Amino acid sequence: MRTSLLRSVESAVKRSRSAHLRRSFHAGAVPERKVAILGAAGGIGQPLSLLMKLNPLVTRLALYDIAGTPGVAADVSHINTPAEVAGYASEEQLGKALEGSDLVIIPAGVPRKPGMTRDDLFNINAGIVKSLCTAIAKYCPNALVNMISNPVNSTVPIASEVFKKAGTYDAKKLFGVTTLDVVRAKTFYAGKAKVPVSEVNVPVVGGHAGITILPLFSQATPSTNALSEEDIHALTKRTQDGGTEVVEAKAGKGSATLSMAYAGAVFADACLKGLNGVPDIVECSFVQSTVTELPFFASKVRLGKNGVEEVLGLGPLSDFEKQGLENLKAELKSSIEKGIKFAKEN
Ligand SMILES: NC(=O)C1=CN([C@@H]2O[C@H](COP(=O)(O)OP(=O)(O)OC[C@H]3O[C@@H](n4cnc5c(N)ncnc54)[C@H](O)[C@@H]3O)[C@@H](O)[C@H]2O)C=CC1
Ligand SMILES: O=C([O-])CC(=O)C(=O)O
């Protein structure tokens, strides 16, 4: 009788201890995180919403678009993962979508058609990005911002100016998403070097348009002697033209959406891990930088509890890469200046 009573007390204590441990794990070790996606009903927005719903680090997922959000939100919300989904469908609801966000991902805006450059999107997307960033400054000034909307080389400087004007700019919290360039460089390198793609790492620096995209294949791992200089030049060109390859294949139906959603989800996950204090999270991103004389530049970035913990240097470059770096500076500088001028004048 006594032993059975003891056993039941012991097991009650054990149950309460493990419940306490579970509670403290939820309350402490893995913080609650709200992620907002602006442009959530678009070609990128929909699969990105799906992937973020699958991310166990996301507690609340706010899906905002000017059209089509209720359907996307209802659809994604039926997936049996913990993130709570809410859809926001009009400008009046943008504040609610943003409030309390730790991370805002922006894939809002028009995509390219064949024959266009990313800069041809400037006239429409600059205004969209400006108004969304004005709302971010108002409703969630401390959130990390992942800018996907093109031309990234200009939209990130636009965002920085909007935040400066609002008095909320924190260079550590603004990121141009260049992960798709890294994803492509890894895939193309693995195919050519015949190494397992899951083991490949390739930094991609510079910006996110044409020759401003500079993959550093001399630093690719696993390293290989199997590639000729010609192979490296062809891999570089293919990475730089990766977006155009998709635009042409889609023949008027837009640009990369699925690979971009994957890349956006990879980068957002890295940002959330950094925020949560996971050590050694390094990704390439287009950020405010002193790596070159340009005020914004993509390079490896260490992510932490406040966003950018450290902007890493370029490392040793081959002569071909050194030349590529010099060649990209004029275009990148002018795209950055175009964004800053727009934000200052509008
Ligand atoms: N950074 C990168 O590596 C990449 C960037 N992109 C860029 O991402 C952007 C989106 O591309 P897609 O999803 O294919 O275009 P899409 O046209 O399929 O979707 C864009 C969505 O943005 C929404 N939108 C427009 N104005 C808005 C506003 N003011 N507020 C909220 N939502 C708004 C639209 O309703 C639409 O649902 C384009 O600018 C494209 O160039 C695309 C691929 C890669
Ligand atoms: O090429 C485009 O217009 C979309 C984009 O940025 C990419 O796929 O890298």
pLDDT at 21: 35
Cβ count within 10 A of residue 100: 15
Q: Show the ligand 2 pocket: residues with CB < 6 angstroms.
A: 111-112, 118, 150, 180, 242-244, 246-247, 255-256
CA-to-CA dists, residue 183 to 16, 202, 277, angstroms = 46, 9, 24
- Which domains are assigned to the chain? 27-176 (3.40.50.720), 179-345 (3.90.110.10)
Matching residue, tokens 């004007």: 165
Interface predicted TM-score (ipTM): 0.99
39 Cβ inside 6 Å of ligand 1: yes
**How far apart, in whole angstroms, are the C-alpha atoms of residue 104 and residue 143?**
7
pLDDT at 30: 85
Compute the average pLDDT of residues 146-154: 98
Is 150 among the annotated ligand-binding positions? Answer: yes
List the one residue out of 27, 60, 8, 38 whose CA is nearest residue 106. Answer: 38
Task: Give the pLDDT confidence of 188-247 residue by residue, as tens digits.
Answer: 999 999 999 999 999 999 999 999 999 999 999 999 999 999 999 999 999 999 999 999
**How far apart, in whole angstroms, are the C-alpha atoms of residue 119 and residue 113?**
12
Find the ligand nearest to 185 CA.
2
Task: Give the pLDDT confidence of 168-180 residue by residue, as tens digits.
Answer: 999 999 999 999 9
Task: Give the pLDDT confidence of 324-333 residue by residue, as tens digits.
Answer: 999 999 999 9
Residues 6 or more apart whose Cβ sits within 8 Å of residue 88: 62, 63, 64, 69, 94, 96, 97
Task: Give the pLDDT confidence of 264-282 residue by residue, as tens digits.
Answer: 999 999 999 999 999 999 9
Residues in the chain: 346
Which residue has the CA at smallest separation from atom 8 of ligand 2? 243
Cβ count within 10 A of residue 194: 9
Which residues are registered as beta bridge partners of 63? 37, 87
pLDDT at 86: 98
Is 127 among the annotated ligand-binding positions? Answer: no
